[in-house]
A and B are shown apart, each in its own frame.
Chain A
Amino acid sequence: TQLLEQSPQFLSIQEGENLTVYCNSSSVFSSLQWYRQEPGEGPVLLVTVVTGGEVKKLKRLTFQFGDARKDSSLHITAAQPGDTGLYLCAGEPLSGGSYIPTFGRGTSLIVHP
């Protein structure tokens, strides 16, 4: 059982389309991080969401943290080929009692020109 479930697993779209990817859990998180990883490279931090219901924007990327702090979404507007990559969510559940970061399996996004 995955602590952080990400969906969809794969997404292939055309340039200019909008998309949303999801990160869901049955556990409550103090915060969630979103990363983008390109093949053969390390994850690059995009954003941290901390407060339930919080919305953060990073240019064409909009991140939302669920009210109950169990889920998060990433919406990309007018996707570009440069957005291609593996999008990972990560966090540490509040119930853990210790900080052991957990990553989801990621959503692999391909944006075709």
Chain B
Amino acid sequence: EPEVTQTPSHQVTQMGQEVILRCVPISNHLYFYWYRQILGQKVEFLVSFYNNEISEKSEIFDDQFSVERPDGSNFTLKIRSTKLEDSAMYFCASSVNSDLGDPYEQYFGPGTRLTVT
């Protein structure tokens, strides 16, 4: 069964460093998302991406964050200068085109645990 994959599973970085989190969405999906979940808290939407551009972004997704789909398979989240409070699980998700199914049915990857020290 197709699944969303994410790398790395765990990333440790120092405050102020740049990190890039990588995701490979399900191949026929057209909508891509990033979420974060701080330990013990709820899943929070960061950004959605469709047709090679950002569709929506939350207040969390400030100028320190960017997303990119550099090729036909990868979808990346970059944090330019990490802060301690960026420590969280980051989940990538994807969903199909609305013509083929419910775009709100999102399939999540296993997550990347980001630890900023």
Contacts and interface: CB of A to CB of B under 8 A. Distances in A.
Interface in A8-58: 30-31, 33, 35, 37, 40-45, 48, 50
Contact of A45 (B44, B56, B91, B107): B107
B44 A44 contact: no
B114 to A, nearest CB: 13
A66 interface: no
Nearest to B58: A100
A91 B104 contact: yes
A71 interface: no
Given A48-B102, A48-B105, A43 B43 contact: yes
Most buried by B among A40, A44, A91: A40
Contacts of B45: 100-103
A59 B39 CA distance: 31
B105 A99 contact: no
Interface string A69-105: 0000000000000000000101110000011111111
Contacts of B108: 35, 42-45
B102 A41 contact: no
Contact of A33 (B55, B104, B109): B104
A1 to B, nearest CB: 13
B76 interface: no
22 contacts: A31-B104, A33-B105, A33-B106, A35-B108, A40-B89, A40-B113, A42-B4, A42-B91, A42-B93, A42-B111, A43-B91, A43-B108, A44-B108, A45-B107, A45-B108, A48-B104, A92-B104, A99-B55, A100-B45, A100-B56, A103-B42, A106-B42
Interface of B: 4, 33, 41-45, 48, 55-56, 58, 89, 91, 93, 102-111, 113
